Structure 1
Amino acid sequence: MLNEKLTNPKSIAIIGASNNLQTPGGRVLKNLIDQKYKGELFAVNPKEIIVQGVKCFQNIDNLPKVDLAIIAIAAKYTLDTVKILAQQKNTKGFIIFSAGFSEKDEEGKKLEQAIVDEINSVGGTLLGPNNIGLINQNFAGVFTTPIPKLNSKGVDFISGSGATAVFIIEAAMATGLTFSSVYSVGNSAQIGVEEVLEHLDETFEEATSSKVKLLYIESVENPQKLLKHANSLIQKGCKIAAIKAGSSSAGSRAASSHTGALANSDVAVDALFKKAGIVRCYGRNELITVASIFMHPELVGKNIVIITHAGGPAVMLTDTLSKNGLNVPEIKGKKSEELLSKLYLGSSVSNPIDFLATGNAEQLETIIDYCEHKFEEIDAMVVIFGSPGLFEVFDVYDVLHKKIRTCKKPIFPILPSVVNVKKEIDFFIEKGNITFPDEVLFGNALGKIVNTSKPKRITKIKSTFNSDKIRTIIKSVTNGYLQPQIVKELLLAADIPIVNEAICTSKKECKKVANELEYPVVMKIVGPVHKSDVGGIILNISSEEKLIASFDTIMKIEGATSVLIQPMKKGIELFIGAKKEDKFGHLVLCGLGGIYIEVLKDTQAALAPVSKNEALEMIQNLKSYKIIQGFRNQQGVNENKFAEIIEKVSDLLAIAPEIIELDLNPLLGNSKEIIAVDARIRIEK
């Protein structure tokens, strides 16, 4: 929990305050004064007596007790300053603008840690260093401009980058999006994005708190904390959108399995956001557009009507909505004909409803009323209205203003004429509205929101699991890839169906095993990790003569130590994998198996633990799902059994966290059974 003296201080001291507004210490004081901070303000500057009309202390030792210190001095002076404030001035809130700490070098990192230790010793909270500060309903403690319009129902925004925060604020202000708070965490020496989100969760109040949270994250330091509090906030009725910058494939560089090659830190971020219910964005404008949609009533249903006086934008929006799985249904029948009769000749009401460049405010109001009350199949309206610059459109935007507040169906205003009708748009925003300047950006953002999964409830492993047996096996082995027999024992202990098999080192053993399993059989190399790459898999061995020849062929391959014999099974090839990904824990993946995984790379990933319902969702989100369902008279796969095995793999990972890579590839599936026919497990204790 953040100390209240950081978020709601009764007194603030600016260390390094200045009359020069082009310095951080000068600008932050100006912002505090301009935004009418109600508490006591103190300035500290050895060369001044009064700074911007505020009493100034030349020496910090003479400063009275103060709740919050905003520090804008050189890094080398900050530790001594923090010590005096923490130990003598009862200061518990600290915002450090200064740079030159962990982002610079090892010495800076040590200095930063010493400051954190000092603040921790008095139970204080540090925001920064190397940040732009904090804005909330109580004060504007930032050295940047502009200060956005503050509104308790606006968005809470947490940013890992100060400059990005400024750019997002600037762009948001142009659309009418307001803010409840802005936190810039800088180096996150003591608190980062996750801790601020935790604070917003733990202090959330249904009636008064903002229900929209925006995040700009450069590094996910505590994935489980982010998941817990994002999930909690969304369950409370909040909506969260986030940018995670810095997609990386570094985690797959040393991959020695299919799972390792497919799973990396960015896949883990996707899985984390999906589990939490966070809408992932990739740019500032997308983030702002998603947030602006969040500020409107929630869309219930997928049928959208487009109301426009310009054909081109309506066509582009129709295409965009359709590509994102939303519907722009045709409107026809008696009521549509009735509406058409009230519009100018040449208008169209089939959807998009195009009431021409000459359309007016009265006609717009009539169209909206029909969509609200008479076209029952419609779930939401998008109104595209700009101007060629021939006349003012204040009356049109007045209609929009009124209808947005009185209609039960959401109305999204796309106002593209940001030059021709700038005055009208500013007027519309001033009245508390939010606009969208671009129809394609809007359509993609709406689609992203609609297609983002609801948050997943955290599941627990089944108590019936054979955990003792699994732990005994794990304790008995060393690091690296496990031997096939050990893999088999682990999978059987986890109740994962696996094909009968045996390892043979001689032709005599091969004959005995093949007769027991019954022909046809499959022979696989034991030794090299990627069997197919070295020609180490021979299928459909139907005779003893072919069995012996196959044994000779495989044992000549470099690295071969023995052969694995299995009965020849048929079915659709499937894949389940898992990989331990840094701080995120285990990622579980599924998809089509065999060579398809390399060619199609069509997989779905989830962060463990994975419930059966979550596993079913993964399966159904595969692009190749139709093949799993059964296609063109070909038998499909039992989805429930597939999901159960995914869940069992997830449970296995919970009991044996030493597993860092797991590949079941392929599993062979049909409508009755799914059996793993090849498996690899790598552990690291």
Structure 2
Amino acid sequence: MLNKKLLNPKSIVVVGASNNIKTPGGRVLKNLLDHNFKGKLFAVNPKETEVQGLKCYQNITDIPNVDVAIIAIAAKFTLETVKVLTQQKNTKGFIIFSAGFSEKDAEGAKLEQQIVDEINLVNGTLLGPNNIGLINQNYAGVFTTPIPKLDKNGVDFISGSGATAVFIMEAAMTTGLTFSSVYSVGNSAQIGVEEVLEHFDETFDKTSSSKIKLLYIESIENPQKLLKHATSLIKKGCKIAAIKAGSSSAGSRAASSHTGALANSDVAVDALFKKAGIVRCYGRNELITVASIFTLPQLKGKNIAIITHAGGPAVMLTDALSKNGLSVPEIKGKESEELLSKLYLGSSVSNPIDFLATGTAEQLETIIDYCENKFDKIDAMAVIFGSPGLFEVYDVYDVIHKKMKTCKKPIFPILPSVINVKNEIDYFISKGNINFPDEVLFGNALAKTMLDKKVTSIEKLNLTTNNQLIRNIIDISENGYLQPQQVRELLIAAEIPLVNEIVCNTKTECISAIDLLQFPVVMKVVGPIHKSDVGGIILNISSKDALVISFDTIMKIGGATSVLLQPMKKGTELFIGAKKEGDFGHLVLCGLGGIYIEVLKDIQTALTPISKNEAIEMIQNLKSYKIIQGIRNQEGINENEFAEIITKISNLVTIAPEIVELDLNPLFGNSKEIFAVDARIRIEKN
């Protein structure tokens, strides 16, 4: 929990205050003065007696007790300053702008930790160091500009980067997006993005708290805390959008299994955001656009009317919406003909509704009224209106403003002429409105917000006799890939359906095994990890002679220790995998199996624990889902059984967190049953 004095101080000291407003200490003092901090302000600078009209103290020991200290001095002086403030001045809130700590070197990290230790002793809160500060309804404790318009209904914004926070605020202000608070966490020495989100969760008030949270994250230090509090806030009615920087595959480490190669930390971020209900964004403007959509009434359906006086942007918006699963349905019938008669010759109402560059504000109002009251299939309107610069469009924007306030269907204003009608757009925004200057960015963002963001209710694990059996197998196993018999025992304990198999060390054992398995059989090498890569799989063995020849062939493969025999089965090849991804926990993946997992990379991923509903959603979101359903007279897969196995794998890795990689590849499936025919499991203890 953040200390209350940091959030609503009665007094603030700026250590390193200056008359030069081009320095951090000078600018933050000016921001505090200009934005009406109502408490007492103190300044400390050994070289000044007055700073920006305030009495200036030469020594920190001379100031009265103070709630918050904003420190803008060299790193080497900060520890002693903090000690005086914590031990003598009853200070509980600290914002440290100074750089030169953990981001610099080991010595800086040590100094940073000493500062945190001092603040922890008095149950204080530190933002930073190496940050730009804090803005909320009570004060503007930042050394940057601009200070955005503050509104209790605006967005709460937490950023791991001070510069990025500034750039996002600048861009947001031009679109009309307002802020309730801005937290820059810098080095996150004590308080990071997760802790600020935790604070928002634990202090949330449905009547007064902002219901929109934006995050810019460079490193997720505590994924489970982020998941917990994001989930909680969304359940309380909040909407969250986030950028997680550093998503390139170049940072992924090499892995020995299919699952390891497909699952990496960025996949884990996607899975975490999806589980929580966070909308993931990949750039500043996308984040702002999603947040702006959040401020408007929620879209209830997928049918959008595009109202425009310019054909090109309407076409591009139509493409963006259609490609993302939204619809721009044709409008026809008596009402559409009636509307067309009220517009200039050459207009079109089929959707997009194009009322030409010469269209008037009165015509726009009529079109909106028809979409609102007479076109039942329409769920929302996107109004595109700019100007070639020949005339003012205040009257058009007045109509959009009025209709946004009175219509039940959402209206999204796309006003692209940010130069020609800058004054009119500023006027429109000054009335509390949002502008979407780019139609394609808007269309893509709208689709993201339309995805189902309901938080999944996780089914608790049922502790059974099998749980202890699983633990026993893990406890007696050594690190590394488990032997085939261990893998089989573990999967049986987890109730995963398996094809019958026998491990054979000699030709004689192979011949004896046929009495149980019956021809035809498949023979696989035991030893090498990727069997198909080394020619270690021989299919459709139908005679004893072929069995013997196959044994000799397989055993010549480098690393071969024995062979594994299975009855030859047919069905659609499926894949389920699991991987432990650091503090995120386990990822479970599913898709089509065999070589398709590598070629198509059509997978869905979720963080454990996984409910049955989540598993079904994973399956249905696969691009290859039509194959699973059955297509062109091909038999489909038992979808319910597939989902059951996914949840059982989720349970298995939850019971046995030592499992770091697990592959069921392939499983063979049909409409009646699914069974694993090849599996490998790697464990790491401690």
What range is the shorter-chain TM-score in?
Answer: over 0.9
Which position in structure 2 is the counterpart of 1:581? 581
Measure how far apart 1:465 and its partner are.
6.1
Which position in structure 2 is the counterpart of 1:275? 275
Correspondences of 1:13-32 after superposition (within 5 Å):
13-32=13-32
> Residues 675 and 252 of structure 1: is their aligned pair in 2 closer, same or farther, counting only changes over 3 Å?
farther
2:232 is the counterpart of 1:232: yes
Alignment deviations for residues 6-26 of structure 1 (CA, whole Å, 9 cap, x no partner): 111111000011111000000
Which position in structure 1 is the counterpart of 2:343? 343
2:165 is the counterpart of 1:140: no
Alignment deviations for residues 651-685 of structure 1 (CA, whole Å, 9 cap, x no partner): 00111000000000000000111000000000000
- Percentage of identical aligned residues: 80
CA distance in 2 between partners of 1:30 and 1:458 (Å) = 50
**3-state DSSP of counterpart to 1:181:** strand
Alignment deviations for residues 583-630 of structure 1 (CA, whole Å, 9 cap, x no partner): 111010000000101110111110111111101101111111111111
Structure 2: tracts of 5 or more residues without a match: none
Measure how far apart 1:452 and its partner are.
5.2
Q: Is the 8 A contact 1:274 1:452 kept in 2?
A: no
**3-state DSSP of counterpart to 2:577:** strand
Which position in structure 1 is the counterpart of 2:385? 385
Measure how far apart 1:53 and its partner are.
1.4
Q: Is the 8 A contact 1:465 1:494 kept in 2?
A: no
CA distance in 1 between partners of 2:459 and 2:142 (Å) = 41
CA distance in 2 between partners of 1:647 and 1:431 (Å) = 51
Which position in structure 2 is the counterpart of 1:506? 506
Correspondences of 1:149-228 after superposition (within 5 Å):
149-228=149-228
Alignment deviations for residues 118-164 of structure 1 (CA, whole Å, 9 cap, x no partner): 00010000000000000000000000000000000000000000000
Measure how far apart 1:271 and its partner are.
0.4
Which position in structure 1 is the counterpart of 2:440? 440
CA distance in 2 between partners of 1:79 and 1:442 (Å) = 47
Q: Is the 8 A contact 1:251 1:263 kept in 2?
A: no
**3-state DSSP of counterpart to 2:490:** helix
> Residues 465 and 8 of structure 1: is their aligned pair in 2 closer, same or farther, counting only changes over 3 Å?
farther
- Structure 2: which amino acid aligns with 1:664? L
- Structure 1: which amino acid aligns with 2:215? L
**3-state DSSP of counterpart to 1:240:** strand
Which position in structure 2 is the counterpart of 1:253? 253
**3-state DSSP of counterpart to 1:208:** coil
Q: Is the 8 A contact 1:555 1:562 kept in 2?
A: yes
Which position in structure 2 is the counterpart of 1:296? 296
Q: Is the 8 A contact 1:150 1:181 kept in 2?
A: yes
Deviates further, 445-454 or 611-620: 445-454
Which position in structure 1 is the counterpart of 2:458? 458
Which position in structure 1 is the counterpart of 2:680? 680
Measure how far apart 1:249 and its partner are.
3.5
- Structure 2: which amino acid aligns with 1:439? E
- Structure 1: which amino acid aligns with 2:523? M
- Structure 1: which amino acid aligns with 2:302? K
CA distance in 2 between partners of 1:249 and 1:144 (Å) = 34
Measure how far apart 1:489 and its partner are.
0.2
Measure how far apart 1:251 and its partner are.
6.8
CA distance in 1 between partners of 2:544 and 2:265 (Å) = 48
Measure how far apart 1:193 and its partner are.
0.3
> Residues 656 and 670 of structure 1: is their aligned pair in 2 closer, same or farther, counting only changes over 3 Å?
same
> Residues 369 and 378 of structure 1: is their aligned pair in 2 closer, same or farther, counting only changes over 3 Å?
same
Correspondences of 1:108-147 after superposition (within 5 Å):
108-147=108-147
Which position in structure 2 is the counterpart of 1:99? 99
Measure how far apart 1:30 and its partner are.
0.3
Correspondences of 1:590-601 after superposition (within 5 Å):
590-601=590-601
CA distance in 2 between partners of 1:199 and 1:459 (Å) = 27
Measure how far apart 1:55 and its partner are.
2.0
- Structure 2: which amino acid aligns with 1:308? T
CA distance in 2 between partners of 1:197 and 1:165 (Å) = 16
**3-state DSSP of counterpart to 2:519:** coil
- Structure 1: which amino acid aligns with 2:184? S
- Structure 2: which amino acid aligns with 1:424? E
**3-state DSSP of counterpart to 1:171:** helix
Deviates further, 461-470 or 143-152: 461-470
Runs of at least 4 residues of structure 1 off by over 3 A?
248-252
- Structure 2: which amino acid aligns with 1:367? I
Q: Is the 8 A contact 1:666 1:678 kept in 2?
A: yes
2:10 is the counterpart of 1:10: yes
Q: Is the 8 A contact 1:152 1:179 kept in 2?
A: yes
Which position in structure 1 is the counterpart of 2:608? 608
CA distance in 2 between partners of 1:454 and 1:337 (Å) = 40
**3-state DSSP of counterpart to 1:682:** strand
Q: Is the 8 A contact 1:522 1:537 kept in 2?
A: yes
CA distance in 1 between partners of 2:404 and 2:276 (Å) = 30
Correspondences of 1:514-553 after superposition (within 5 Å):
514-553=514-553
- Structure 2: which amino acid aligns with 1:513? A
**3-state DSSP of counterpart to 2:666:** strand
Which position in structure 1 is the counterpart of 2:73? 73
**3-state DSSP of counterpart to 2:175:** coil
Structure 1: tracts of 5 or more residues without a match: none
- Structure 1: which amino acid aligns with 2:502? A
Which position in structure 1 is the counterpart of 2:470? 470
CA distance in 1 between partners of 2:649 and 2:310 (Å) = 54
Measure how far apart 1:301 and its partner are.
0.6
- Structure 2: which amino acid aligns with 1:377? K
Q: Is the 8 A contact 1:251 1:581 kept in 2?
A: no
- Structure 2: which amino acid aligns with 1:30? K
**3-state DSSP of counterpart to 1:14:** strand
Correspondences of 1:295-334 after superposition (within 5 Å):
295-334=295-334
CA distance in 2 between partners of 1:490 and 1:198 (Å) = 38
Measure how far apart 1:582 and its partner are.
1.2
**3-state DSSP of counterpart to 2:219:** coil
CA distance in 2 between partners of 1:70 and 1:514 (Å) = 79
Alignment deviations for residues 91-125 of structure 1 (CA, whole Å, 9 cap, x no partner): 00000000000000000000000000000010000
Alignment deviations for residues 438-492 of structure 1 (CA, whole Å, 9 cap, x no partner): 1001001111111354222233222346110000000101100000000000000
Measure how far apart 1:557 and its partner are.
1.1
CA distance in 2 between partners of 1:659 and 1:8 (Å) = 47
Number of aligned residues: 685
Q: Is the 8 A contact 1:519 1:543 kept in 2?
A: yes
Alignment deviations for residues 358-398 of structure 1 (CA, whole Å, 9 cap, x no partner): 10111111111111111111110000000111110000000
Q: Is the 8 A contact 1:279 1:452 kept in 2?
A: no
Which position in structure 2 is the counterpart of 1:84? 84
CA distance in 2 between partners of 1:209 and 1:335 (Å) = 43
CA distance in 2 between partners of 1:252 and 1:180 (Å) = 37
**3-state DSSP of counterpart to 1:615:** helix
Measure how far apart 1:250 and its partner are.
6.2
CA distance in 2 between partners of 1:308 and 1:513 (Å) = 74
- Structure 2: which amino acid aligns with 1:393? V
- Structure 1: which amino acid aligns with 2:160? G
Correspondences of 1:411-450 after superposition (within 5 Å):
411-450=411-450
Q: Is the 8 A contact 1:154 1:210 kept in 2?
A: yes
CA distance in 1 between partners of 2:392 and 2:16 (Å) = 49
- Structure 2: which amino acid aligns with 1:410? P
CA distance in 2 between partners of 1:652 and 1:248 (Å) = 30
2:52 is the counterpart of 1:63: no
- Structure 2: which amino acid aligns with 1:522? V
**3-state DSSP of counterpart to 2:456:** coil
**3-state DSSP of counterpart to 1:28:** helix
- Structure 2: which amino acid aligns with 1:471? R
- Structure 2: which amino acid aligns with 1:273? F
**3-state DSSP of counterpart to 1:197:** helix
Q: Is the 8 A contact 1:250 1:264 kept in 2?
A: no
**3-state DSSP of counterpart to 1:456:** coil
Q: Is the 8 A contact 1:308 1:383 kept in 2?
A: yes
**What is the RMSD computed on CA atoms of the aligned residues?**
0.9
Alignment deviations for residues 30-57 of structure 1 (CA, whole Å, 9 cap, x no partner): 0011000011111111122221112211
- Structure 1: which amino acid aligns with 2:131? N
- Structure 2: which amino acid aligns with 1:97? F
What is the TM-score normalised by the length of structure 2? 0.99
